[in-house]
Structure 1
Amino acid sequence: MESDRTQKRLKMSALEQLKKITTIVADTGDFEAMVTYKPTDATTNPSLILSASTMDRYQYIVCNAIQYGKNQNGPLENQIVEAMDYVCVLFGCEILKIIPGRVSTEIDARLSFNTEKSVQKALKLIGLYQSQGIDKERILIKLAATWEGIKAAEILEKEHGVHCNLTLIFSFAQAVACAEAGVTLISPFVGRILDWYVANTNTKKFEPLKDPGVLSVTSIYNYYKKFGHKTLVMGASFRNIGEIKALSGCDLLTISPALLKELENDSTSITRYLSEANAKNQNIEKISIDEPKFRWLLNEDPMATDKLSEGIRKFAVDTVKLENLIANLFNKETCEC
């Protein structure tokens, strides 16, 4: 009987095996990929929205957003901002027609150091979703895990009942601060941590279980489960399927279409490495994070400092590119849908 169960499991793809122990999230703005791989949730960011907005098959979404912006009062600059917010929401609405779970929509990276404006933008996006008939329970507001972003998430969660996904997590200090703020979910970046170590150390290759990004997510997961934090951990930014498999059992994993395809074509057996039971047995010291300690620990971690700053800059660059794309279309008499 046990042999039969093993044979049945081995016939399943690695992706299907993962889905039984981890919630799979599509890291894409491409609807067709979501239909193919059937993730529970989906997450977007400015880079993914920019990429999708340049595809012919999604021009109808961009056109609708531009028309919405043009119908708003105020100067052209404000109308472009309105179109920008609306295009992100419209992509989210389309995604929610495909997936059963939640979609993450990201706050403008240029607000990463402004708590008040981040809260205002988040509530505006939630309002736009609600105008489309989407309940806020299906939305995760995505913010960079700066101190200001974490404080914005705390306000949104506790005062407005808005669920948040804190992104660009590269350090244990960020993760602890997020848990203490009561955020719904965090996205620690695996591949970008690996990139830094490959670029800045003498080691150029890592086995999956020794991958520094995998080790970072594992330590965060174990800490959360050991001390009963409700914040969920969603491993993100993978460079290969070995990293993904090494985090099997994590609460969620957000995966690009290319790696989802690899997992679907892989039939090797998946070993569960992360579990709450195992985390409870870890010898871990509980810590607490206030603002001075947060800033000091982040300052003392050159990898986290570099990658957090770089991530914010890159998202901001793609946000400006999307703004320019929309601004150029504003100048046309008609939008070529």
Structure 2
Amino acid sequence: MSATLHSPPSSALISSSSLKGRKLRLAAQPVKPSLNLKPLNAFPLIRASINFSSSLDTGLSTELDAVTSFSEIVPDTVVFDDFERFPPTAATVSSSLLLGICSLPDTKFRSAVDSALADPHCYALAKSDDRMSCFFNKALVNVGGDLAKLVPGRVSTEVDARLAYDTNGIVKKVHDLVKLYQEIEVPPERLLFKIPSTWQGIEASRLLESEGIQTHMTFVYSFCQAAAAAQAGASVIQIFVGRLRDWARNHAGDPEVETARRRGEDPGLALVTKAYNYIHKYGHKSKLMAAAIRNKQDVFNLLGVDYIISPLKILQSLKDSVTPPDEKYSLMRRLSPQSAASYNFSDAELVKWDQYSFSSAMGPAAVELLATGLDGYANQSKRVEELFGKIWPPPNV
């Protein structure tokens, strides 16, 4: 999300993972609003409208008040209808979101999908695969365009995970999406593109960022991925803390995981700490996002990281926990430019990453978790195309 908000941004993300089993609504989630349009360096999220007000009138404050003074807290939820109650500041468009829209014919965004399926250019393509890909692109952009009219911040668009190992394919896909957005008058500075952190995806990020197109690297499970993405100039780097922890509980043999364990550290939290310190110590522009948060202690251990994506139940618990004045400062910032300056890296960690060194440094955890994430995203994209094949052409068009 090419920054139209302050950094860190004050909004919350539409999380595609939380679409399962929920009534689709458009995510609006708060925690520190910043509506001023600013230069491109922040991650656009959607602001939650849950009432996270403090209890200052009683002389007390909540744990949520304390943690939001250190990091941007991003509620992990999807809300999709009540814009007055939940005013969004930015949005994310994904294959999962398209599936959700198609499951609710009465949603206000269904017309964006129907018009995509009636696009004359796509309609004229002879090959079925080309036609479905065109419909898919148009649907993403049409929905993204509608969201851009509703939010002051950026709209993030998922890049097809099936292109994860094709640098040129990713760049071409993003260029195609940017062109479609331009046709409906959504400028590049309102956009960010979500790309898997394969070596090819990171190289695509490097090329796109050099053109002023901002990228968000996802599926980061190892230091080499985070460092290479930072060297590429990625705008946002997302690490999944809980997923790495879950893997470590049931597996062994990953050097990074084992090193963290020997130090008595949680591998997911240790990776965020190392990545944050690397980014800040060596002056990279990237912002770091911690996702897959499992409990309040995770939040406390990550204070100072740019963004923390947290489930609503954890945020509600933080809000309900009052911090008396004498305990108000017990929650300490764990990550800071000062901590980064004193962090020591080995020579092997300070290399200029290339494809060979990157591949050699990817441990079993990153390899397996990245593959799992890619499979999930790819399957969702296939489901969208299969669904479009069944409902195309749409009725009354």
Cα contact 2:117–2:394 (8 A) shared by 1: no
Tell me which of 310, 315, 328 is aligned to 2:377. 315
Q: Indicate the residue corresponding to 1:143 in structure 2.
A: 195
Separation (CA, whole Å) in 1 of partners of 2:112 and 2:130: 19
- Structure scoring higher RCO (CA < 8 A, sep ≥ 6) equals 1
The one-letter code matched in structure 1 to 2:350 is I
Q: Percent identity?
A: 31
Q: Indicate the residue corresponding to 1:117 in structure 2.
A: 169
Separation (CA, whole Å) in 2 of partners of 1:315 and 1:146: 14
What is the deviation of 1:8? 6.3
Q: Indicate the residue corresponding to 1:218 in structure 2.
A: 273
Cα contact 1:24–1:41 (8 A) shared by 2: no
What is the deviation of 1:112? 0.4
Q: Deviations over 1:6-59 (max 9, x none)?
A: 956985555554444333445555434887666765445433443344234243
Cα contact 2:94–2:140 (8 A) shared by 1: no
Q: Deviations over 1:113-138 (max 9, x none)?
A: 10111100001111222223222112
Cα contact 2:90–2:153 (8 A) shared by 1: yes
Cα contact 1:25–1:40 (8 A) shared by 2: no
The RMSD of aligned alpha carbons is: 3.2
Separation (CA, whole Å) in 1 of partners of 2:238 and 2:122: 36
Separation (CA, whole Å) in 2 of partners of 1:252 and 1:294: 25
Q: Indicate the residue corresponding to 1:154 in structure 2.
A: 206
Tell me which of 303, 308, 319 is aligned to 1:248. 303
Unmatched runs of 5 consecutive residues or more in structure 1: none
Q: Indicate the residue corresponding to 2:368 in structure 1.
A: 306
Separation (CA, whole Å) in 1 of partners of 2:90 and 2:318: 17
Separation (CA, whole Å) in 1 of partners of 2:75 and 2:148: 12
Q: Indicate the residue corresponding to 1:295 in structure 2.
A: 359
Unmatched runs of 5 consecutive residues or more in structure 2: 1-53, 253-260
Greater share of residues in helix: 1
Calculate the TM-score normalised by the size of structure 1: 0.82
Pair 257,71 (structure 1): closer, same or farther in 2 beyond 3 Å: farther
What is the deviation of 1:217? 1.0
Q: Indicate the residue corresponding to 1:281 in structure 2.
A: 342
Tell me which of 244, 247, 267 is aligned to 1:196. 247
Match of 1:188, SS state, is strand
The one-letter code matched in structure 1 to 2:209 is E
What is the deviation of 1:223? 1.3
Cα contact 1:27–1:44 (8 A) shared by 2: no
Q: Deviations over 1:239-272 (max 9, x none)?
A: 3343234222211233455555555555456543
Pair 191,88 (structure 1): closer, same or farther in 2 beyond 3 Å: farther
Match of 1:303, SS state, is helix
Q: Indicate the residue corresponding to 2:118 in structure 1.
A: 67
Cα contact 1:69–1:79 (8 A) shared by 2: no
The one-letter code matched in structure 1 to 2:271 is S
The one-letter code matched in structure 1 to 2:283 is G
Q: Indicate the residue corresponding to 2:100 in structure 1.
A: 51
Tell me which of 71, 94, 98 is aligned to 1:22. 71
Cα contact 2:221–2:369 (8 A) shared by 1: yes
Cα contact 1:234–1:254 (8 A) shared by 2: yes
User: Bigger shift: 144-153 or 49-58?
Assistant: 49-58
Q: Deviations over 1:276-295 (max 9, x none)?
A: 12221222335111211100
Separation (CA, whole Å) in 2 of partners of 1:271 and 1:36: 33
Q: Deviations over 1:42-85 (max 9, x none)?
A: 44543344334423424333323323377642134333222211
Q: Indicate the residue corresponding to 2:288 in structure 1.
A: 233
Cα contact 2:236–2:288 (8 A) shared by 1: yes
The one-letter code matched in structure 2 to 1:247 is L
The one-letter code matched in structure 2 to 1:103 is V
Separation (CA, whole Å) in 2 of partners of 1:109 and 1:180: 22
